[in-house]
Chain A
Amino acid sequence: MYGNDFGPSANEGEDVRPIDDAAAQVRFDALLADDERIEPRDWMPAGYRKTLIRQIAQHAHSEIIGMQPEGNWITRAPSLRRKAILLAKVQDEAGHGLYLYSAAETLGAERDELTEMLITGRQRYSSIFNYPAVTWADVGAIGWLVDGAAIVNQVPICRCSYGPYARAMIRICKEESFHQRQGFELLLTLSRGTDHQRTMLQDAVDRWWWPSLMMFGPPDDASPNTAQSMAWGIKRHTNDELRQRFVDMTVPQADVLGVSLPDPDLELVDDHWRHGPIDWDEFNAVLRGEGACNRQRIEHRTTAHTDGAWVRDAAAAYAEKHQRAAA
Chain B
Amino acid sequence: MNRFALVLGLADDALIAAQRLAEWVANAPELEEDVALANIALDTLGRARVLLAHAGEIEGAGRNEDDLAMLRDEREFTNVQLAELENGHFGTTIARLWLYSTWQLTWWEALTSSTDETLAAVAQKSIKELRYHVDHGERWVRRLGDGTEVSHERMQDGLDRVWPHVAELFTNWVGTDLIEQGVTVAPATLEARCRERWAHVINEATLSTPQVPTVPGGGRRGIHTESMGYLLAEMQHMARSHPGATW
Can you list, as one digit per residue, whether each of A179-219 has a CB less than 8 Å from chain B (1) or not (0)? 00000001001001110110000000000000000000000
Residues of A within 8 A of B150 (CB): 310, 313-314
Residues of B within 8 A of A84 (CB): 42, 45-46, 49
Residues of B within 8 A of A197 (CB): 242, 245
Q: Is the interface of A mostly helix, strand, loop or mixed?
A: helix
B154 at the interface (CB under 8 A from A): yes
Rounded to whole angstroms, the CA-CA distance of A83 and B235 in the bound complex is 10
B32 at the interface (CB under 8 A from A): yes
Rounded to whole angstroms, the CA-CA distance of A186 and B247 in the bound complex is 7
Q: In the complex the two chains form, is B143's CB within 8 Å of A318's CB?
A: yes
Q: With A87-B25, A193-B246 known to touch, is A67 a contact of B34 (CB < 8 Å)? A: yes
Rounded to whole angstroms, the CA-CA distance of A315 and B32 in the bound complex is 12
Residues of B within 8 A of A313 (CB): 147-148, 150-151
B199 at the interface (CB under 8 A from A): no
Residues of B within 8 A of A67 (CB): 25-26, 34
Can you list, as one digit per residue, whether each of B145-157 has a CB less than 8 Å from chain A (1) or not (0)? 0111011001000
A327 at the interface (CB under 8 A from B): no
Q: In the complex the two chains form, is A318's CB within 8 Å of B247's CB?
A: no
A293 at the interface (CB under 8 A from B): no
* Residue of B whose beta carbon sits closest to that of A65: B26
B144 at the interface (CB under 8 A from A): yes
Instruction: Name the distance in Å between A287's Cβ and chain B's nearest Cβ.
Output: 23
Q: B interface, how many residues as a size bin? A: 35 or more
Rounded to whole angstroms, the CA-CA distance of A68 and B34 in the bound complex is 12
Q: In the complex the two chains form, is A308's CB within 8 Å of B29's CB?
A: yes
* Chain B binder among A70-78, A156-164, A225-233: A70-78
B135 at the interface (CB under 8 A from A): no
Q: Which of B36-73 contact A (CB under 8 A)?
A: 38-39, 41-42, 45-46, 48-49, 52, 65-66, 69-70
Q: In the complex the two chains form, is A87's CB within 8 Å of B45's CB?
A: yes
B239 at the interface (CB under 8 A from A): yes
Instruction: Name the distance in Å between A74's Cβ and chain B's nearest Cβ.
Output: 5
Rounded to whole angstroms, the CA-CA distance of A87 and B48 in the bound complex is 15
Rounded to whole angstroms, the CA-CA distance of A67 and B65 in the bound complex is 27
Instruction: Name the distance in Å between B66's Cβ and chain A's nearest Cβ.
Output: 5
Q: Which of B1-48 contact A (CB under 8 A)?
A: 15, 19, 22-23, 25-35, 38-39, 41-42, 45-46, 48
Rounded to whole angstroms, the CA-CA distance of A79 and B245 in the bound complex is 10
Residues of A within 8 A of B237 (CB): 76
Q: With A90-B38, A94-B34 known to touch, is A75 a contact of B22 (CB < 8 Å)? A: yes
Q: In the complex the two chains form, is B242's CB within 8 Å of A64's CB?
A: no
Rounded to whole angstroms, the CA-CA distance of A136 and B242 in the bound complex is 12
Rounded to whole angstroms, the CA-CA distance of A95 and B35 in the bound complex is 7
B180 at the interface (CB under 8 A from A): no
Residues of A within 8 A of B28 (CB): 304, 308
Residues of A within 8 A of B148 (CB): 310, 313-314, 317
Q: Which of A59-112 contact B (CB under 8 A)?
A: 64, 67-68, 71, 74-84, 87-88, 90-91, 94-95, 97-98, 101
Instruction: Name the distance in Å between A107's Cβ and chain B's nearest Cβ.
Output: 19
Residues of A within 8 A of B247 (CB): 77-79, 81-82, 136, 186, 189, 193
Q: With A80-B49, A80-B69, A84-B45 known to touch, is A315 a contact of B34 (CB < 8 Å)? A: no
Further 6 A-B residue pairs, CB within 8 A, beyond A87-B38, A321-B146: A78-B245, A90-B26, A91-B38, A308-B28, A315-B147, A317-B148
Task: Please name 17 pairs of A and B residues whose Cβ atoms are closer than 8 Å in the assembled complex, sorted by A.
Answer: A75-B23, A79-B66, A79-B239, A82-B247, A87-B25, A87-B41, A88-B38, A186-B247, A194-B245, A196-B242, A197-B242, A300-B27, A311-B33, A314-B143, A318-B146, A318-B147, A319-B143
| Chain B interface residues toward A at CB < 8 A | 15, 19, 22-23, 25-35, 38-39, 41-42, 45-46, 48-49, 52, 65-66, 69-70, 89-90, 142-144, 146-148, 150-151, 154, 234-235, 237-239, 242, 244-247
